[in-house]
Amino acid sequence: MEVELREITSETVRLICELEVAVNQRSFVAPNAVSIAEAHFTPGHWMRAIIADGQPVGFVLTLDEPSEGYFLWRFMIAEGHQRRSVGRRALQQVLEHWRELGVTVARTSVVPSNTGATRLYASLGFRLTGEEEHGELVMALEM
């Protein structure tokens, strides 16, 4: 399966906004439309559609601000496309993007009950820091 990150365009934005996680995961991540809207008011954002075998299946949004740090802000794989290594492959491409920028430490946060995301991030080298932000557990990756 080919997984790639592509810029979101006026032709693809509706498709990305229509993607949803499973009902029991909706408390873990904001809807893509909200994330895209918030990003447009946040300097330093970087967002991409996650495409698997030519089809939109997910969304990633990072905050890439040298003065503030590098943060995986939003990440989702739509219901029906999870547990197929799409998320792992997409996150590996995000990490490569950061390596190209010379990032030394990346961060993210997870809802404490989202054990699937915590395991995925940990498998890529993120570690819990013991910090909390907005009720979420902070994880960091030394790059």
Amino acid 134: pLDDT: 93
Please write the tens of the pLDDT for every residue from 32-67.
999 999 999 999 999 999 999 999 999 999 999 988
Please write the tens of the pLDDT for every residue from 1-24.
899 999 999 999 999 999 999 998
φ, ψ for residue 5, nearest 5 deg: -105, 130
Contacts of 36 (CB under 8 A, 6+ apart): 8, 13, 16, 17, 47, 61
Concatenating the DSSP letter of every residue in 26-70 gives TTTS--HHHHHHHHTTSTTEEEEEEEETTEEEEEEEEEEETTTEE
Output the pTM of the full model: 0.94
Domains in the chain and their CATH numbers? 3-142 (3.40.630.30)
Mean pLDDT of 76-82: 91
Amino acid 100: pLDDT: 95
Helix axes 115-123, 86-101, angle to 10 degrees: 50
Amino acid 119: pLDDT: 95
Residue with tokens 């994880």: 139
Please write the tens of the pLDDT for every residue from 86-138.
999 999 999 999 999 999 999 999 999 999 999 999 999 999 999 999 999 99
Q: How deeply is 88 buried, as exposed, middle or buried, from its count of CB atoms within 10 A (0-12, 13-18, 19+)?
A: middle
For 20, the 3-state DSSP assignment is: coil
Q: Is the pLDDT of residue 140 over 90?
A: yes
Amino acid 81: pLDDT: 84
Distance CA 23, CA 45 (A): 27
